[in-house]
Amino acid sequence: MKRVEKMKILTKYFGEIEILDDAIINFPGGLLGFEDSKDFVLIDMPGNSHFKFLQDIHKSYVSFVMINPWDFFENYDIELSDIELEKIRVTSLKDDNFSIYNVVTLGKTFDLSSANLIAPVVINNNEKLGRQIIVDNPKYTTKHPLLQEGLGA
C-alpha cells in the first residue's frame, strides 16, 4: 500500500498550507488554456460550503473558484460522453465515483458573477483524476449569472 506523505504547498488565498499527497488530483490535460497546470487540490471555502478552490499545487496564482452546479442551477442537465469519461477512468456512474464542478468568474457583486456551465470540471474521486469537458449543448455558455436560479434568490 502506498504511503501517504504530507507536503506543503503555497496557495493563492490561504498562504502556505499542508496537504496529504493522496489529495492531489491529476489533470492529464490541464484545464483549457492552462495545459501546464496538471496537479491540483480542492480546498473548501471556510464558512461557505457552496464554494471550493481548485488550487494548482505548483503555481500558487492558479486557483479557480468552483461550485457544485446543482447548488445554484437545479435544472443543470448535461450529457458526458463515455469516451470523455473514460479519459479519467470513470466507467460506472455511481454517485460517489465522480464529482462535477463548474468554474466561477467573480464580478464586483454576486449578480455580476457567473459560472461556466458549458465546460464542467469532472473529477474521479477514487482515482484522483480530473478533466474539463466541453459539453455540446446550445443551452449552456461560459457565463451564467450565479443568482439566476437557486441560492439567495
Listed in order, strand segments (DSSP E) in 14-91 are 16-20, 25-26, 39-44, 51-56, 63-67
Give the type of residue at 73. F
The site for other proteins (CB under 8 A) is made up of 13, 31-34, 45-48, 50-51, 61-65, 81, 83-84, 87, 103-108, 110, 116, 118-119, 132, 134, 136, 141-143, 151-152
Shortest CB 27 distance to other proteins, Å: 12
CA dihedral in degrees (105, 107, 110, 116; nearest 10)? -20
- Closest contact distance (angstroms) between CB of 8 and other proteins is 20
Q: How many helices (H) and strands (E) in the chain? A: 2, 11
> 27 or 98, CB closer to other proteins?
27
Nearer to other proteins, 21 or 50 (CB): 50
